[in-house]
Amino acid sequence: MHEISIMQSALELAEDHARQAGATTISRISLRVGIVSGVVPEAMQFAFDVLRRNTMADSATLEIEAIPGVFRCSGCGGVFTLQDLRFDCPSCHGLLSMEGGGADLELAQLELS
């Protein structure tokens, strides 16, 4: 449920930057959401649909780029960059261990007009 407040921050940040850039409308908001950021993209989309009303992003689209994490297999030693949080090795079905990445949660860019 914290996606609502995070989306609210994203919209405020977007509007601040749009105003500073002298724009009147935001037509696209692009976010980068890491797989261990603790934020669910579907919930972000839902929050966006509710919160964008009567803002500069009223008719904007939301673009979410999922940022992968790096995993290493405790069985075969393989290293994998994965878009999903999974812990079974795609190669040998051993237990994967998270090495890093995927913590990103940022407003990447705006399309303004």
Alpha helices in the chain (DSSP H): 3-20, 41-51
Is residue 1 a contact point for other proteins (CB under 8 A)?
Answer: yes
Which tokens go with 31? Answer: 């976010």
What's 68's DSSP letter? Answer: P
Is residue 19 a contact point for other proteins (CB under 8 A)?
Answer: no
Which tokens go with 34? Answer: 């890491």
Question: Which one of 15, 19, 41, 46 is in contact with other proteins (CB under 8 A)?
Answer: 41
Distance CA 18, CA 70 (A): 34
Which residues of the shown chain bind other proteins in the complex (CB under 8 A)?
1-2, 6, 9-10, 13-14, 17-18, 21, 23, 25, 27, 31, 36-39, 41-42, 45, 59, 61-68, 74, 83, 85, 87, 95-99, 103, 105-113
